[in-house]
Amino acid sequence: MTTQITTETRLPPEQWIDRLSPADALVLMLDSQAGAIDAVRAALPQIEASVEALYQRLSTVRTARLIYCGAGTSARIAVQDGAELLPTFNWPQARIGYIIAGGMGALITAVEGAEDSEDEARQAVISTAINADDCIIGLAASGKTRFTCAALEAAKDAGALTIGISNNPDTGLLECAAYPVVLNTGAEALAGSTRLKAGTAQKICLNLISTQLMARLGYVKDGLMTHMIPANEKLRRRKQEIEAMLAENSR
């Protein structure tokens, strides 16, 4: 019987990075990271279905929110994606939300045991007032993080649209999501350290989802960030350049 390779699988001794020369270890890690692209490519049909579902929900109700959920590295990647929606697309801050194991402070300092608290997850869904208008994206490399699974279950019970992104197949997170996305990245160069290839795949996946979603919602025209917020001198110049290009394209 073939053992399934997961994010926890250990590489053979000849690939242990502490036994390799620095140059060989770096090559091994780089080649491993490249596998994230293949994992995301294989999931493109699931990603497309997720984007379309998000578009239908968020374009129908003007107060509907996009909420990110996760623990540890997955939470940090999720927040990075969400935080960039306001400056890049002028997506309303009131329509972005986060459910993070251990609270927002856990993004900087690890909160031990927070990812195991199902009660905290359910309470967070209640306090965030998630309802049938909202959409929630839950990320967990293992696909079995109890906090994230419980949050998605509670959000689903509240009527929200649920998307689950896991780097392992056949997991609880995928089972409880209406739209599962499997980023099957397999073994890491450092066994179990999912901030590596799994994290890269998650970042790419969220980049694709949020950017295509914003394009579908009308925040992109002619491949340009037409709704960006010009908050500094560099961005004010960019905004002027974008407006000039749009004017030229309309002639």
Among residues 52, 84, 118, 175, the one annotated as catalytic is 84
pLDDT at 126: 97
**Amino acid in the structure at residue 251:** R
The owner of tokens 């409880």 is 176
Predicted pLDDT of residue 1: 40
Q: Which residues pair with 182 in a beta bridge?
A: 166
pTM: predicted TM-score of the whole model, two decimal places: 0.93
Cα angle 61-67-68, degrees, rounded to a multiple of 5: 155
> How far apart are alpha carbons 142 and 192 in whole angstroms?
9
**Pick the catalytic residue: 115, 120, 153, 188?**
115
In order along its 251 residues, the chain shows pLDDT tens digits of 446 778 889 999 999 999 999 999 999 999 999 999 999 999 999 999 999 999 999 999 999 999 999 999 999 999 999 999 999 999 999 999 999 999 999 998 877 788 889 999 999 999 999 999 999 999 999 999 999 999 999 999 999 999 999 999 999 999 999 999 999 999 999 999 999 999 999 999 999 999 999 999 999 999 999 999 998 999 899 999 998 898 887 77
In a domain, 137, yes or no: yes
Indicate the number of domains in the chain.
1
Whole domain around residue 192: which residue ranges? 33-220
248 included as an active-site residue: no
Residue at 149 is within a domain: yes
In-domain check, residue 126 = yes
Name the token pair of 121.
Answer: 């997850």
The Cα–Cα gap between 227 and 38 comes to 32
Per-residue pLDDT reduced to its tens digit, 159-204: 999 999 999 999 999 999 999 999 999 999 999 999 999 999 999 9
- Give domain status of residue 42, yes or no: yes
Residue 48 is a catalytic residue: no
CATH classification of the domain holding 215: 3.40.50.10490
